[in-house]
Structure formats: C-alpha cells, structure tokens
Amino acid sequence: MGLRDTLRSGDDGGAGVRRILVATDRSETAEHAVRFAAAMAVRFEAELVLCQVVVPPAETPPQAKDELVEYGRGFVGDLARAVIAVGEDPGQAIVDAAESEDVDVVVVGNVGMSGRKEFLLGNVPNRVSHNSHRTVIIVNTRQRIAQQQKKGWFGR
C-alpha cells in the first residue's frame, strides 16, 4: 500500500488536521486566506478557529468574538470558532493563539499591513512562520486580488 492509498484510507499516522487557525482582520485580502482555510477545514472535517488580533491601545468590542464566529459559520457552519488575541506584536499574538488553541495548522495571508506599520511591527506572516511550532501556510492573497482586479477590468 503506497502513501496515497494510506492517506485515502484515513490512516495518516496521527498527522491529521483537527483544528485550523486563520488570522483575519475581515479585509478583502484576508477573506482569501479565510476561504483557503475554510476549504481545508471542510476537506479534513476540522474546526476552523478564526483569530482576530487587537493591538493595544485599541480595545476589543464586546460583540467581536460573536461576530467573528458568525462570519466563520458562513464558511464552515458549526465547525467555526473564534478567538480574539490581544498583543503589541500581531505576529506573536497569532503564534500565542495557535498554541493556546492547540491548532494543527496556522493560515495567514501575505498581504496586510504595509508601509510604516509593517516596518515598525515586522512582517506578520514572516514572524508567524519563523516563531510558530505549528504548520504554517501563507496564502498568496496579493496574487488573488490582482487576478480579481484583472478579471473585473477586462470583464467590463
């Protein structure tokens, strides 16, 4: 029996995906990462933990977690969960949330902060990929947005 047959049979040697965390700020680019993670969650019948980072001094709105769960349910139904991570360093907040939620996979987009904020806080996907002990998938959201814009332009 080859690896492909083993994986099809569901015997993955304990390397299954039970819980996926996806970081989102609910932007258009982040939604591409959420859709990628949601498709993965459906494929593996895994929980999808949506993570929103709040950087102080900003405060977390009281309904933020409930709204995030509802947003996630639009993609994966009852498999959606949410966590609000608070921290000065968004990358580290995502890494910490992945640890505390005991996820198997972390999904982040490659577009987000830019300019001065990115310089001061560091590249979030890079920080997550270098500091996490979990499998990290960086979704190329920049390319997907460019493709959509191109289709919109030529489709008119």
pLDDT digits 0-9 by tens, 99-127: 999 999 999 998 754 444 444 445 888 89
pLDDT digits 0-9 by tens, 2-19: 554 544 445 555 568 999
Is 129 part of a structural domain of the chain?
Answer: yes
pLDDT of 153 over the 90 cut: no
CATH number at residue 67: 3.40.50.620
Number of domains forming the structure of the chain: 1
Beta strands of the chain (E only): which ranges? 19-23, 47-54, 80-86, 105-109, 135-139
Assign 135 a pLDDT band (cuts: 50, 70, 90).
very high
Is 11 part of a structural domain of the chain?
Answer: no
Q: What pTM was computed for the model? A: 0.80
Is 12 part of a structural domain of the chain?
Answer: no
Is 5 part of a structural domain of the chain?
Answer: no
Q: What share of the chain is helix, strand, coil (3-state, %, to 5)?
A: 50, 20, 30
Is 119 part of a structural domain of the chain?
Answer: yes
